[in-house]
Structure 1
Amino acid sequence: MSNNEQNKSNPNFEGYITELLDIGKLIKKIGDSISADALVMALEASNKKIEIDKMQKQIEYLTTELEELKKLI
């Protein structure tokens, strides 16, 4: 019997493989979770940028209106 055949029939070897598979699945889940969190953070940052741009346009508009009102006074 070869060493490879002994490893395949050894219950400890199968348990070790099962543990490695479980660890691999856990690492994948953690990676998926990190990816999802990164996506949420990117979307939130994008939304904040959009809001800041809107606020900047409002400030520019109000500044222009204020300048026009000053001219009338």
Structure 2
Amino acid sequence: MAYRESFYRYLMTLRDADSNDEVAQFANNAQNDQTFPKQEQDYDKLSDYLELNAGYLSSMSIFDQAYQMYRDKMMY
């Protein structure tokens, strides 16, 4: 089975403090979230965490977009 990096690790590659892009802002804020599930890959577990704990995420559609980008990158 091939190694697949965690969603958090992928998300950190999208950080950009100077960007107004919503995914970049999500990444910037997630970096400061001390309880973010950093090893998680599962959509449902990440979604549940964010719905309950991520006041910095204005819309779950931003997570959906970022997760789709993650899935696209992890396909091989």
Shorter-chain TM-score bucket reads: under 0.3
> Which has more radius of gyration?
1
Work out which structure has the larger RCO, using CA pairs closer than 8 Å and 6 or more positions apart in sequence. 2
| TM-score, length of structure 2 as denominator length | 0.23
Q: TM-score, normalised by structure 1?
A: 0.24
If each structure's helix is expressed as a fraction of its own residues, which one has the higher value? 1
